[in-house]
A = this chain, B = another copy of it.
Amino acid sequence: MNVDTPRDGLQLRSIVKDSGELELSLARVATPAPAADEVVLRVEATPINPSDIGLLFGAADLTTLAGSGSGERTVATARIPDAAMKAMAGRLGQSMPVGNEGAGTVIAAGSGAAAQALLGKTVAVLGGAMYSQFRTVKVELCLPLPAGTSAAEGASCFVNPLTALGMTETMRREGHKALVHTAAASNLGQMLNRICRADGIGLVNIVRKPEQEALLREQGARHVVSSASPRFIDELTEALVATGATLAFDAIGGGKLAGQILGAMEAALNRSAKEYSRYGSTTHKQVYLYGGLDTRPTEFVRNFGMAWGMGGWLLFPFLQKAGAETAARLKQRVAAELTTTFKSHYAGEISLFEALQADTVAAYGARATGAKFLVNPNKGVA
């Protein structure tokens, strides 16, 4: 079953041009023959995560999206507003491959024993450039999937599962006892809800729509609050009193939500305050912004005392800080619970060609909850 290494394959590319144009296209790239400790993967399933969308589109205005060509010549373009070009300086003129993670079949392997052992296996890889037909990667980046697991089931093995586990790990490490999560009906949010239920962790789920609230309640979530409710702040405060959550992970980023969470945490803490302190509660309240679904500026009223923090949170720096032992423990849990706790849902499976068609781009570019797509780079390829 060791087929020869395919000579080349298609790879999705994103480039920002001097002219202020973003262009997505397909390149035909050579497949490197595997070294002793490498394997060649035929990529069969790779998700379009919010973290991929950032690299795909940069600061482009998707309302200006236009498509042209077909097959290997399919191209999508969009304008980048002049004001946003400064932030693109670091990637200007570079044709960049995209796709953090994915899964597929090992179709060729280097001479090493570890590489040979993977031949024919379905593996998940966190290797970048996964929107490619073929990828030659180091064995150490591969996670062999349990027998009977499909590439589609294993496609989102890393980013969402490890991010969700990273949140509860961070909670413990920083001395909090419960969590708040926004955009809570996302794939990631549903995973976090399952983890918190299994581990007995209090979780306050913040959603934006009634159907998202219903979905999470069906999945056993106890505390679900909708930011669209006219009583949002009061309902959030009650949930914070009930759980004692003083740590939040916010995927929204823009607008007032992060500050509102800190304010409600302070109000919840002050319910049990014995004495007035003009500096507010002495309990540290923290919100980590790990996404930016709302691209507007972040704004907050400082009504939560002085013991507070806001900051960025990213998976890879977290894993580095947590150390190899913790990272290995988390990955083992993901592999063991891949089709239960860490199950993902997709709006559809698309080919590389479809990924460049304007209507499809508009669909996954919307970053709406429930609209996550899976790319199969070998779908529809001759």
- The one of B253, B289, B302, B306 in contact with A313, judged by C-beta atoms closer than 8 angstroms, is B306
The count of chain A contact residues (Cβ–Cβ below 8 Å) is 40
- On whether A314 and B278 interact (CB within 8 A), knowing A297-B299, A298-B299, A303-B87, the answer reads no
A277 at the interface (CB under 8 A from B): yes
Cβ-defined contact, B298 with A300, below 8 A: yes
A308 at the interface (CB under 8 A from B): yes
Cβ-defined contact, B306 with A302, below 8 A: no
Cβ-defined contact, A279 with B314, below 8 A: yes
In the assembled complex, which residues on chain B have CB atoms less than 8 Å from the CB atom of A289? 302
A229 at the interface (CB under 8 A from B): no
Cβ-defined contact, A305 with B299, below 8 A: no
- A259, B312: Cα distance in complex, Å: 13
A129 at the interface (CB under 8 A from B): no
In the assembled complex, which residues on chain B have CB atoms less than 8 Å from the CB atom of A306? 290, 312-314, 317
In the assembled complex, which residues on chain B have CB atoms less than 8 Å from the CB atom of A307? 312, 314, 317
Chain B: minimal CB distance from A221 (Å): 27
A273 at the interface (CB under 8 A from B): yes
A54 at the interface (CB under 8 A from B): yes
Cβ-defined contact, B310 with A278, below 8 A: no
A120 at the interface (CB under 8 A from B): no
- A290, B317: Cα distance in complex, Å: 27
Pull 10 A–B residue pairs with CB atoms less than 8 Å apart, ordered by A.
A90-B276, A96-B276, A289-B302, A297-B299, A297-B302, A298-B300, A299-B299, A308-B311, A308-B312, A310-B310
